[in-house]
Structure 1
Amino acid sequence: MGSYINVGLVFDKLCTDKLKKIIKYLINKNGVLKFGDYSKDKEGDEWVNINFNDKTYVSELCSNYYGKLIIVPDIKEPLNSANVILEIIKKENVQGVILSFHEEDVLKSYNEIELITVTDAFIHIIEDLYELVEFDYAVCDNDAEIIYTKELIHNFKKEYSITFIPDESKKLHEFRTDWHINGLTQR
Protein backbone atom coordinates (compact mmCIF):
# COMPACT_ATOMS: atom_id res chain seq x y z
CA MET A 1 0.00 0.00 0.00
CA GLY A 2 2.99 2.32 0.39
CA SER A 3 2.00 3.91 3.69
CA TYR A 4 3.50 3.75 7.16
CA ILE A 5 2.20 2.88 10.58
CA ASN A 6 3.63 5.56 12.83
CA VAL A 7 4.17 5.81 16.54
CA GLY A 8 4.48 9.41 17.69
CA LEU A 9 5.96 10.30 21.06
CA VAL A 10 5.55 13.90 22.24
CA PHE A 11 7.76 15.61 24.83
CA ASP A 12 7.92 19.06 26.39
CA LYS A 13 11.55 18.98 25.31
CA LEU A 14 13.30 16.14 23.55
CA CYS A 15 16.74 15.87 25.11
CA THR A 16 19.75 13.73 24.31
CA ASP A 17 19.14 11.40 27.25
CA LYS A 18 15.61 10.53 26.11
CA LEU A 19 16.65 9.98 22.51
CA LYS A 20 19.54 7.72 23.61
CA LYS A 21 17.10 5.59 25.59
CA ILE A 22 14.71 5.30 22.63
CA ILE A 23 17.54 4.31 20.26
CA LYS A 24 18.97 1.83 22.77
CA TYR A 25 15.51 0.26 23.16
CA LEU A 26 15.10 -0.16 19.40
CA ILE A 27 18.58 -1.57 18.88
CA ASN A 28 18.49 -3.76 21.99
CA LYS A 29 21.06 -6.55 21.49
CA ASN A 30 21.01 -7.24 17.76
CA GLY A 31 19.63 -4.14 16.07
CA VAL A 32 21.64 -2.04 13.64
CA LEU A 33 21.87 1.66 12.87
CA LYS A 34 21.86 1.74 9.05
CA PHE A 35 21.76 5.42 8.17
CA GLY A 36 21.26 8.81 9.75
CA ASP A 37 21.31 12.46 8.84
CA TYR A 38 20.16 15.85 10.06
CA SER A 39 19.86 19.37 8.75
CA LYS A 40 22.07 22.08 10.19
CA ASP A 41 19.58 24.77 9.19
CA LYS A 42 15.85 25.27 9.61
CA GLU A 43 15.32 25.54 5.85
CA GLY A 44 16.78 22.06 5.27
CA ASP A 45 19.48 23.25 2.87
CA GLU A 46 22.58 21.87 4.64
CA TRP A 47 22.41 18.15 5.49
CA VAL A 48 25.02 16.16 7.39
CA ASN A 49 25.33 12.36 7.30
CA ILE A 50 25.85 10.84 10.72
CA ASN A 51 29.01 8.96 11.61
CA PHE A 52 27.83 6.38 14.13
CA ASN A 53 31.42 5.92 15.39
CA ASP A 54 31.21 9.49 16.70
CA LYS A 55 29.44 9.07 20.04
CA THR A 56 28.09 12.64 19.89
CA TYR A 57 25.66 11.82 17.07
CA VAL A 58 22.63 11.73 19.40
CA SER A 59 23.33 15.20 20.77
CA GLU A 60 23.88 16.40 17.17
CA LEU A 61 20.44 15.01 16.25
CA CYS A 62 18.82 16.81 19.20
CA SER A 63 20.55 20.14 18.67
CA ASN A 64 19.93 20.42 14.91
CA TYR A 65 16.89 20.12 12.63
CA TYR A 66 14.96 17.31 10.95
CA GLY A 67 17.09 14.45 12.22
CA LYS A 68 16.41 10.98 10.89
CA LEU A 69 17.76 7.48 11.57
CA ILE A 70 17.06 4.22 9.78
CA ILE A 71 17.27 1.32 12.20
CA VAL A 72 16.96 -2.43 11.83
CA PRO A 73 15.39 -2.98 15.24
CA ASP A 74 15.62 -5.83 17.70
CA ILE A 75 12.13 -5.52 19.17
CA LYS A 76 8.97 -7.55 19.66
CA GLU A 77 7.76 -9.76 16.82
CA PRO A 78 6.26 -9.10 14.31
CA LEU A 79 7.80 -5.63 14.22
CA ASN A 80 11.47 -6.58 14.28
CA SER A 81 11.56 -7.61 10.63
CA ALA A 82 10.94 -4.07 9.41
CA ASN A 83 13.26 -1.11 9.14
CA VAL A 84 12.21 1.68 11.45
CA ILE A 85 12.60 5.30 10.44
CA LEU A 86 13.12 7.41 13.55
CA GLU A 87 12.41 11.05 12.77
CA ILE A 88 13.00 14.00 15.09
CA ILE A 89 10.07 16.43 15.03
CA LYS A 90 10.58 20.04 16.10
CA LYS A 91 7.64 22.34 15.56
CA GLU A 92 6.77 25.64 17.17
CA ASN A 93 4.53 24.15 19.87
CA VAL A 94 5.44 20.46 19.91
CA GLN A 95 8.47 18.25 19.64
CA GLY A 96 9.06 14.57 19.71
CA VAL A 97 9.85 11.45 17.75
CA ILE A 98 8.01 9.59 15.02
CA LEU A 99 8.80 5.89 14.57
CA SER A 100 7.67 4.81 11.10
CA PHE A 101 7.14 1.18 10.11
CA HIS A 102 6.39 0.45 6.46
CA GLU A 103 2.90 -1.04 6.48
CA GLU A 104 3.76 -3.80 4.01
CA ASP A 105 6.59 -4.97 6.30
CA VAL A 106 4.38 -5.45 9.35
CA LEU A 107 1.00 -6.34 7.82
CA LYS A 108 1.14 -9.18 5.33
CA SER A 109 -2.48 -10.34 5.12
CA TYR A 110 -4.56 -7.58 6.77
CA ASN A 111 -6.81 -10.15 8.44
CA GLU A 112 -8.33 -9.35 11.83
CA ILE A 113 -6.03 -11.67 13.79
CA GLU A 114 -2.94 -10.14 12.23
CA LEU A 115 -4.22 -6.59 12.86
CA ILE A 116 -4.79 -7.42 16.53
CA THR A 117 -1.35 -9.07 16.86
CA VAL A 118 0.45 -6.13 15.25
CA THR A 119 -1.59 -3.61 17.26
CA ASP A 120 -0.67 -5.44 20.48
CA ALA A 121 3.00 -5.30 19.48
CA PHE A 122 2.79 -1.52 18.97
CA ILE A 123 1.01 -1.12 22.31
CA HIS A 124 3.76 -3.14 24.00
CA ILE A 125 6.45 -0.90 22.46
CA ILE A 126 4.67 2.29 23.52
CA GLU A 127 4.22 1.03 27.08
CA ASP A 128 7.89 -0.02 27.24
CA LEU A 129 9.02 3.37 25.94
CA TYR A 130 6.85 5.18 28.48
CA GLU A 131 8.64 3.34 31.28
CA LEU A 132 11.95 4.55 29.83
CA VAL A 133 11.22 8.16 28.85
CA GLU A 134 7.80 9.29 30.19
CA PHE A 135 6.46 11.13 27.15
CA ASP A 136 3.63 13.67 27.36
CA TYR A 137 1.47 11.56 25.07
CA ALA A 138 1.79 8.98 22.29
CA VAL A 139 -0.22 8.14 19.19
CA CYS A 140 -0.28 5.20 16.79
CA ASP A 141 -2.02 5.25 13.42
CA ASN A 142 -1.54 5.06 9.68
CA ASP A 143 0.77 7.95 8.67
CA ALA A 144 0.18 9.61 12.06
CA GLU A 145 1.79 12.96 12.72
CA ILE A 146 2.36 14.75 16.00
CA ILE A 147 0.76 18.17 15.79
CA TYR A 148 -1.03 18.81 19.08
CA THR A 149 0.39 20.13 22.32
CA LYS A 150 -0.09 18.05 25.43
CA GLU A 151 -2.78 20.51 26.52
CA LEU A 152 -4.78 20.01 23.31
CA ILE A 153 -4.42 16.24 22.80
CA HIS A 154 -7.41 15.52 25.05
CA ASN A 155 -9.61 17.29 22.49
CA PHE A 156 -8.13 15.36 19.56
CA LYS A 157 -7.51 11.85 20.92
CA LYS A 158 -10.19 10.44 18.61
CA GLU A 159 -8.18 11.53 15.54
CA TYR A 160 -5.75 8.64 15.98
CA SER A 161 -6.37 4.89 16.01
CA ILE A 162 -4.73 4.70 19.44
CA THR A 163 -3.75 7.52 21.79
CA PHE A 164 -1.89 7.15 25.08
CA ILE A 165 -2.13 9.94 27.65
CA PRO A 166 -0.66 9.78 31.15
CA ASP A 167 -2.69 11.20 34.00
CA GLU A 168 -1.32 13.40 36.80
CA SER A 169 -0.14 10.32 38.71
CA LYS A 170 1.82 9.21 35.60
CA LYS A 171 -0.53 6.28 34.89
CA LEU A 172 -0.80 5.71 31.13
CA HIS A 173 -4.34 5.60 29.67
CA GLU A 174 -5.15 4.15 26.25
CA PHE A 175 -7.91 5.49 23.98
CA ARG A 176 -9.00 3.70 20.79
CA THR A 177 -11.12 4.81 17.88
CA ASP A 178 -13.34 2.76 15.58
CA TRP A 179 -10.57 1.90 13.09
CA HIS A 180 -7.44 -0.24 13.23
CA ILE A 181 -3.90 1.12 12.90
CA ASN A 182 -3.88 0.51 9.16
CA GLY A 183 -6.36 3.39 8.85
CA LEU A 184 -8.85 1.33 6.83
CA THR A 185 -10.30 -1.57 8.79
CA GLN A 186 -13.09 -1.01 11.29
CA ARG A 187 -12.67 -2.58 14.74
Structure 2
Amino acid sequence: MIRATFIILALSVALAGYGFAPSIVTDALRLNYLSYWGTLITLIGLLLTIGEILHSLKMTRSVQEQALALLQSVHCVENASTISDCLASVDLLTQDLMQEKYPACVVHFQYLRRLLVKNIPSLDEVPASETRPILNLLGAIEFELLKANQIWGSAYLSKPQKTALLKKLLQLKQQLEAKNPAKRAE
Protein backbone atom coordinates (compact mmCIF):
# COMPACT_ATOMS: atom_id res chain seq x y z
CA MET A 1 0.00 0.00 0.00
CA ILE A 2 2.79 2.44 0.91
CA ARG A 3 4.74 1.58 -2.25
CA ALA A 4 1.68 2.05 -4.43
CA THR A 5 1.03 5.45 -2.83
CA PHE A 6 4.68 6.41 -3.35
CA ILE A 7 4.54 5.39 -7.03
CA ILE A 8 1.34 7.41 -7.58
CA LEU A 9 2.86 10.43 -5.81
CA ALA A 10 6.11 10.19 -7.82
CA LEU A 11 4.20 9.95 -11.11
CA SER A 12 2.06 12.97 -10.12
CA VAL A 13 5.17 15.07 -9.34
CA ALA A 14 6.79 13.98 -12.62
CA LEU A 15 3.68 14.91 -14.61
CA ALA A 16 3.40 18.28 -12.81
CA GLY A 17 7.08 18.94 -13.50
CA TYR A 18 6.62 18.09 -17.14
CA GLY A 19 3.53 20.33 -17.38
CA PHE A 20 5.19 23.34 -15.71
CA ALA A 21 8.59 22.90 -17.41
CA PRO A 22 8.06 25.44 -20.22
CA SER A 23 7.06 28.27 -17.85
CA ILE A 24 9.85 27.52 -15.33
CA VAL A 25 12.71 26.77 -17.69
CA THR A 26 12.20 29.92 -19.79
CA ASP A 27 12.35 32.25 -16.77
CA ALA A 28 15.86 32.27 -15.18
CA LEU A 29 14.67 33.65 -11.81
CA ARG A 30 12.01 30.96 -11.45
CA LEU A 31 14.55 28.32 -12.46
CA ASN A 32 17.00 29.57 -9.79
CA TYR A 33 14.28 29.53 -7.10
CA LEU A 34 13.21 26.04 -8.15
CA SER A 35 16.82 24.88 -8.08
CA TYR A 36 17.40 26.45 -4.65
CA TRP A 37 14.25 24.99 -3.06
CA GLY A 38 14.84 21.64 -4.78
CA THR A 39 18.34 21.48 -3.29
CA LEU A 40 17.00 22.35 0.18
CA ILE A 41 14.26 19.72 -0.06
CA THR A 42 16.78 17.16 -1.29
CA LEU A 43 19.09 17.90 1.67
CA ILE A 44 16.18 17.67 4.10
CA GLY A 45 15.18 14.35 2.51
CA LEU A 46 18.78 13.11 2.80
CA LEU A 47 18.90 14.07 6.49
CA LEU A 48 15.55 12.36 7.12
CA THR A 49 16.77 9.23 5.35
CA ILE A 50 19.99 9.13 7.39
CA GLY A 51 17.98 9.68 10.57
CA GLU A 52 15.59 6.85 9.71
CA ILE A 53 18.49 4.50 8.93
CA LEU A 54 20.16 5.31 12.27
CA HIS A 55 16.85 4.87 14.08
CA SER A 56 16.25 1.48 12.43
CA LEU A 57 19.79 0.38 13.37
CA LYS A 58 19.14 1.37 16.97
CA MET A 59 15.82 -0.50 16.98
CA THR A 60 17.47 -3.56 15.43
CA ARG A 61 20.13 -3.58 18.14
CA SER A 62 17.47 -3.18 20.80
CA VAL A 63 15.43 -6.08 19.43
CA GLN A 64 18.60 -8.16 19.14
CA GLU A 65 19.53 -7.44 22.78
CA GLN A 66 16.02 -8.32 23.95
CA ALA A 67 16.05 -11.55 21.95
CA LEU A 68 19.45 -12.46 23.40
CA ALA A 69 18.23 -11.75 26.94
CA LEU A 70 15.14 -13.88 26.31
CA LEU A 71 17.26 -16.69 24.89
CA GLN A 72 19.53 -16.59 27.94
CA SER A 73 16.48 -16.68 30.21
CA VAL A 74 15.11 -19.71 28.36
CA HIS A 75 18.52 -21.39 28.58
CA CYS A 76 18.62 -20.73 32.33
CA VAL A 77 15.13 -22.23 32.80
CA GLU A 78 16.10 -25.22 30.66
CA ASN A 79 19.24 -25.81 32.75
CA ALA A 80 17.24 -25.51 35.96
CA SER A 81 14.73 -28.04 34.62
CA THR A 82 17.51 -30.44 33.62
CA ILE A 83 19.15 -30.16 37.02
CA SER A 84 15.77 -30.72 38.68
CA ASP A 85 15.37 -33.91 36.62
CA CYS A 86 18.88 -34.98 37.64
CA LEU A 87 18.14 -34.35 41.32
CA ALA A 88 14.92 -36.37 41.08
CA SER A 89 16.89 -39.18 39.45
CA VAL A 90 19.46 -39.09 42.28
CA ASP A 91 16.60 -39.29 44.80
CA LEU A 92 15.11 -42.33 43.02
CA LEU A 93 18.54 -43.89 42.85
CA THR A 94 19.09 -43.34 46.58
CA GLN A 95 15.70 -44.89 47.41
CA ASP A 96 16.43 -47.91 45.23
CA LEU A 97 19.86 -48.29 46.80
CA MET A 98 18.38 -48.21 50.30
CA GLN A 99 15.89 -50.92 49.27
CA GLU A 100 18.69 -52.90 47.56
CA LYS A 101 16.98 -52.74 44.15
CA TYR A 102 20.28 -52.81 42.30
CA PRO A 103 18.97 -53.39 38.75
CA ALA A 104 16.72 -50.31 39.16
CA CYS A 105 19.72 -48.41 40.56
CA VAL A 106 21.72 -49.13 37.42
CA VAL A 107 18.85 -48.04 35.17
CA HIS A 108 18.29 -44.80 37.10
CA PHE A 109 21.99 -44.03 37.23
CA GLN A 110 22.54 -44.62 33.52
CA TYR A 111 19.60 -42.33 32.79
CA LEU A 112 21.09 -39.73 35.12
CA ARG A 113 24.51 -39.99 33.49
CA ARG A 114 23.11 -39.66 29.96
CA LEU A 115 21.07 -36.66 31.07
CA LEU A 116 24.10 -35.01 32.66
CA VAL A 117 26.49 -35.61 29.79
CA LYS A 118 23.97 -34.62 27.11
CA ASN A 119 22.56 -31.48 28.73
CA ILE A 120 25.31 -30.13 30.94
CA PRO A 121 28.50 -29.92 28.85
CA SER A 122 30.39 -28.06 31.58
CA LEU A 123 30.33 -30.89 34.12
CA ASP A 124 33.94 -30.42 35.13
CA GLU A 125 33.34 -26.79 36.10
CA VAL A 126 31.84 -28.06 39.35
CA PRO A 127 34.70 -29.82 41.13
CA ALA A 128 33.80 -33.19 42.59
CA SER A 129 36.76 -32.93 44.93
CA GLU A 130 40.27 -31.57 44.83
CA THR A 131 41.62 -34.71 43.21
CA ARG A 132 39.02 -35.93 40.71
CA PRO A 133 36.46 -34.27 38.46
CA ILE A 134 32.77 -35.03 38.46
CA LEU A 135 33.01 -37.41 35.49
CA ASN A 136 35.36 -39.62 37.47
CA LEU A 137 32.86 -39.59 40.34
CA LEU A 138 30.12 -40.66 37.94
CA GLY A 139 32.33 -43.47 36.67
CA ALA A 140 33.11 -44.68 40.19
CA ILE A 141 29.43 -44.68 41.19
CA GLU A 142 28.42 -46.55 38.06
CA PHE A 143 31.18 -49.13 38.57
CA GLU A 144 30.02 -49.81 42.13
CA LEU A 145 26.40 -50.11 41.03
CA LEU A 146 27.33 -52.53 38.26
CA LYS A 147 29.28 -54.63 40.77
CA ALA A 148 26.28 -54.66 43.08
CA ASN A 149 24.10 -55.74 40.19
CA GLN A 150 26.06 -59.01 40.12
CA ILE A 151 27.56 -58.37 36.70
CA TRP A 152 30.88 -59.80 37.94
CA GLY A 153 29.33 -62.35 40.24
CA SER A 154 29.59 -60.09 43.29
CA ALA A 155 26.96 -60.28 45.97
CA TYR A 156 24.96 -57.41 47.30
CA LEU A 157 26.75 -54.42 48.82
CA SER A 158 27.85 -54.59 52.41
CA LYS A 159 26.76 -51.85 54.79
CA PRO A 160 30.12 -49.95 54.53
CA GLN A 161 30.03 -50.22 50.71
CA LYS A 162 26.44 -48.97 50.65
CA THR A 163 27.35 -46.10 53.00
CA ALA A 164 30.30 -45.11 50.81
CA LEU A 165 28.11 -45.22 47.72
CA LEU A 166 25.39 -43.15 49.42
CA LYS A 167 28.01 -40.56 50.39
CA LYS A 168 29.13 -40.33 46.75
CA LEU A 169 25.53 -39.95 45.60
CA LEU A 170 24.90 -37.20 48.15
CA GLN A 171 28.14 -35.50 47.09
CA LEU A 172 26.93 -35.63 43.48
CA LYS A 173 23.55 -34.24 44.57
CA GLN A 174 25.20 -31.33 46.42
CA GLN A 175 27.26 -30.49 43.36
CA LEU A 176 24.18 -30.53 41.15
CA GLU A 177 22.35 -28.28 43.60
CA ALA A 178 25.31 -25.89 43.56
CA LYS A 179 25.15 -25.80 39.77
CA ASN A 180 21.41 -25.09 39.68
CA PRO A 181 20.92 -21.69 37.95
CA ALA A 182 17.60 -21.16 39.73
CA LYS A 183 19.41 -21.16 43.10
CA ARG A 184 22.05 -18.71 41.91
CA ALA A 185 19.35 -16.25 40.80
CA GLU A 186 17.92 -15.97 44.33
Q: TM-score, normalised by structure 2?
A: 0.24
Bigger Rg over Cα: 2
Q: TM-score, normalised by structure 1?
A: 0.24
Greater share of helix residues, 1 or 2? Answer: 2
Question: Which gives a bigger RCO, structure 1 or 2 (Cα 8 Å, sep 6+)?
Answer: 1
Greater share of strand residues, 1 or 2? Answer: 1
